[in-house]
Chain A
């Protein structure tokens, strides 16, 4: 595997770590019930306390935590030469990209509020998608 690709996978792992920290924080916030009450940032509350922040009874942040952790694991394995996980990495990142677009649309046009933690996560996903595209270009 070319050295440049190893560097890209390492960058993917690092960025997914930042996203993982963000998603873990939001998961803890959701599980502690903080998003079910008022008192914090009103915009974050509007987003995190909304029905769109949950999949049934599961906080979306928890799904995000699992997704970021998967991306990190796949990127590390890919950097160490496990070729089979590259496809899984691709699928996970593009799925996250699609969900992120939907969530940005929801914040902008349905909830009319933005949560800075969600925007940070969106930025991380865009960076991941950019790196994945870069890693595949000749």
Chain B
């Protein structure tokens, strides 16, 4: 039987070992709970998306790879990703189609208004111009108290009919469009922005950077070629 002195010399290391094991276990449990599991769109969901008709898409409809983003114009990570995504679009050209869907959060003070502004611009055929401008100027309007005035100024900058833009922004039509995008996201299990789907497979948040996105697009292209 070990002496009390021997137990005393071992005990602290046993305690430390137990706490180390518990920490690793706890960390693994938290990680599993936090990890965003990959979502794959079902065929029905893909068909339903195409049937909506008013999808904001850039690039060829026949492109082998489709990147669908659920974004919030006031979300800083969406803003940070906007420019690299534009570069990716340019680099992949006709091989890539990009779709944007609104997923504004109420925790962002002006996110809904920004989404309405983009949709109102879309009614005059300038959705993407407003989309790019909103992300480019995110830091300016996100903190502004005069956000409506700024959005109207942006509408002028992209040569919209400002009076029509103001009316459209307040219309039920744009609100319904934003809501329908949001509902679609919720149905797909979207909880965060940006959430990106590449050929109907969601991209994990840890891969939301230009390098990983290019790798995912390349993999999707190879898969298309192989099939």
Contacts and interface: CB of A to CB of B under 8 A. Distances in A.
B164 interface: no
Interface in B102-124: 105, 107-108
A37 B193 CA distance: 5
Contacts of B36: 32-34
A34 B205 contact: yes
A25 B206 contact: no
Interface of B: 8-9, 11-12, 15-16, 19-20, 23, 26-27, 30-31, 33-36, 72, 75-78, 105, 107-108, 191-195, 204-208
18 contacts: A20-B19, A24-B27, A24-B30, A33-B36, A33-B206, A33-B207, A34-B34, A37-B205, A37-B208, A38-B105, A38-B192, A39-B105, A41-B107, A49-B77, A65-B23, A72-B19, A77-B16, A80-B12
Contact of B208 (A36, A45, A69): A36
Nearest to B205: A33
Given A34-B205, A69-B19, A80-B12, 9 more contacts: A28-B33, A32-B34, A33-B204, A33-B206, A38-B76, A39-B193, A41-B107, A76-B16, A80-B9
Nearest to A82: B12
Contacts of B191: 39
Contact of A80 (B8, B33, B195): B8
Nearest to A26: B30
A21 B206 CA distance: 23
Interface string A15-54: 0010011001101110111101111111001100100000
Contacts of B76: 38, 45-46, 49
B16 A73 contact: yes
Contacts, number: 91
Give the size range of A's interface with the partner: 20 to 34
Contacts of B192: 34, 37-40
B34 A29 contact: yes
Nearest to A80: B12
Interface string A77-96: 10111100000000000000
B31 A31 contact: yes
Nearest to A73: B16
Nearest to B194: A37
Contacts of B30: 24-25, 28-29
Contact of A42 (B16, B33, B78, B108): B108
Nearest to B71: A38
